[in-house]
Amino acid sequence: MPSNTPHRLFINGDWLASKAGRYSEVHSPSSGALLGRVTEATAADVDLAIDAAEQAFEQWRLTTALARANLLLKLNQLIERDRSTLAHTISSEMGKPLKEAQAELDYCIDLIRFAAENARRIEGDIIPGSRSGEQILIQRLPHGVVAGIAAWNFPAALLGRKLGPALAAGNTVVLKPHELTPLSGLAIAALVKEAGFPPGVVNIVTGGIEVGQRLVANPKVKLVTMTGSTAAGKKIMAAAADTLKEVRLELGGKAPFIVMEDADLDDAADAAVRSRFGNAGQICTSNERTLVHAAVYDQFVEKLLARIKRLKVGDPLAADTDMGPKVSAAELDKVDRMVQKARQQGARVLLGGERLQGEAYDQGHFYAPTVLDGVTTDMEIAHQEVFGPVLSLIKVADFEEALRLANDSVYGLSAYIFTNNLQYLMRLGTDLDFGEIYVNREGGEAAQGFHHGYGDSGLGGEDGKYGLDAYSRHKTVYLNAGRTRI
């Protein structure tokens, strides 16, 4: 039984109650059980957190990179220590299977580790000046207060992905977990406190869209980094214009998954399934459109269906579960509506195509692993992000058609291709218009890579040295020693 006492806000190193006393409940998407109550922060609470972060920045920016890195590594040790309880929290509130929640924590740890390792490598330049004896220093300095706004599908890793590089670069942060999955963020806040970060360096506020809106509106916030839907990202970018703050947006996707005639079909089928049904299809890099060469189509579909039929759907906390529920009733309704519409538009259901029913499913938001055949580009499902366990099959005649259909999207985050044909591979750089391409493998970013999307998929990018770059700004100093001559 969860405690009836609502979780407080983590502000200035302390747990603060909101004067307004507004709370919301967090429920399991699998069983409907009440998991806890969290504070709905008001604008005044958010401002308090931002003030604390701004004040903490004065000292934090003067700390050495090594000191900041050591605190991040300490936080990692605590996440590692509490890995099984944290995984339980993620699974319970988000619905992903325990083994995926554990993998998410490993990924979160790795993102923070990369940031810590590279804190000492945030380097500038020294350029010879145009005057005798003058040097031009290009320094890399923190922005100040960074606001991190997260989606629900990776409640811990998305916070780590923002917190790690922001702190390594000398910023302070105010983080907002998604309203559906705030408990993982609050658990991380407790570890931040235990790790000994100075008060105000990390603040975590809970609540809905209004909390995010206040973070974006407050002029003391210098950079907003948000992961979420394209619609919300566009609103954030428009709102940030009022105070001309920098924005980094990691948004939706519609990844094509191309299987060419020479592909290893077993590997391709394994990866297609993992990249579609992992996290119940709720990953921005998910295989949203499976484009298969006509010569291997039937063989590939047979392999695919055999694998999908073996997936065990159910309680995310059970050790052998492969796929849990959708995160919410609204998300479940959206997926079913899209499938029924595709059906009306002429797609054939090879598997699933409906909500799961029965004792194990009735209290949760479960959808059957679904395969649609005969999907054509005029259908909504070929263009809008499904973000659910629905694999859409599209037959293509050749590589040219695969490229043309793959690029026919407003999104440009991830793409997949299975082939060993050098002629095809050489064209990925110029002809496949996505920020991140996986060749002969399933999805899953590396901490040292660069996760970034084109078009409606976002702006900026995260991870690796390019992601870290975003968390500092440049300062140019023309330095001369008083003996300058023009």
Q: Give 92 or 419: the residue with its C-beta nearer to ligand NAD.
A: 92
> Which residue number is nearest to ligand NAD in terms of Cβ?
212
Q: Give 269 or 415: the residue with its C-beta nearer to ligand NAD.
A: 415
Shortest approach of ligand NAD to residue 65 CB, angstroms? 26
Q: Give 374 or 449: the residue with its C-beta nearer to ligand NAD.
A: 449
Q: Give 68 or 248: the residue with its C-beta nearer to ligand NAD.
A: 248
Ramachandran region of residue 41, left (φ > 0), alpha (ψ -120 to 50) or beta? beta
Q: Give 278 or 314: the residue with its C-beta nearer to ligand NAD.
A: 278
For the record, the structure tokens of 142 come out as 């923190």
Shortest approach of ligand NAD to residue 482 CB, angstroms? 49
Q: Which residues are catalytic?
A: 250, 284
Shortest approach of ligand NAD to residue 414 CB, angstroms? 9
Name the residue type at position 23: Y
Q: Interface with ligand NAD by CB under 6 A: which residues?
A: 149-153, 176, 178-179, 208-209, 212-213, 216, 226-229, 232, 235-236, 250-253, 284, 385, 387, 413, 451, 453, 458
Shortest approach of ligand NAD to residue 152 CB, angstroms? 5
Q: Give 293 or 451: the residue with its C-beta nearer to ligand NAD.
A: 451
HEC readout, the chain: CCCCCCECEEECCEEECCCCCCEEEEECCCCCCEEEEEECCCHHHHHHHHHHHHHHHHHHCCCCHHHHHHHHHHHHHHHHHCHHHHHHHHHHHHCCCHHHHHHHHHHHHHHHHHHHHHHHHCCCEEEECCCCCCEEEEEEEECCEEEEECCCCCCCHHHHHHHHHHHHCCCEEEEECCCCCHHHHHHHHHHHHHHCCCCCCEEECCCCHHHHHHHHHCCCEEEEEEECCHHHHHHHHHHHHHHCCEEEEECCCCEEEEECCCCCHHHHHHHHHHHHHHHHHCCCCCEEEEEEEHHHHHHHHHHHHHHHHCCCECCCCCCCCCECCCCCHHHHHHHHHHHHHHHHCCCEEEECCCECCCCCCCCCCCECCEEEECCCCCCHHHCCCCCCCEEEEEEECCHHHHHHHHHCCCEECEEEEECCCHHHHCCHHHHCCCCEEEECCCCCCCCCCCECCEECCEECCECHHHHHHCCEEEEEEEECCCCCCC
Shortest approach of ligand NAD to residue 138 CB, angstroms? 29
Shortest approach of ligand NAD to residue 178 CB, angstroms? 4
Q: Give 327 or 405: the residue with its C-beta nearer to ligand NAD.
A: 327
Shortest approach of ligand NAD to residue 153 CB, angstroms? 5
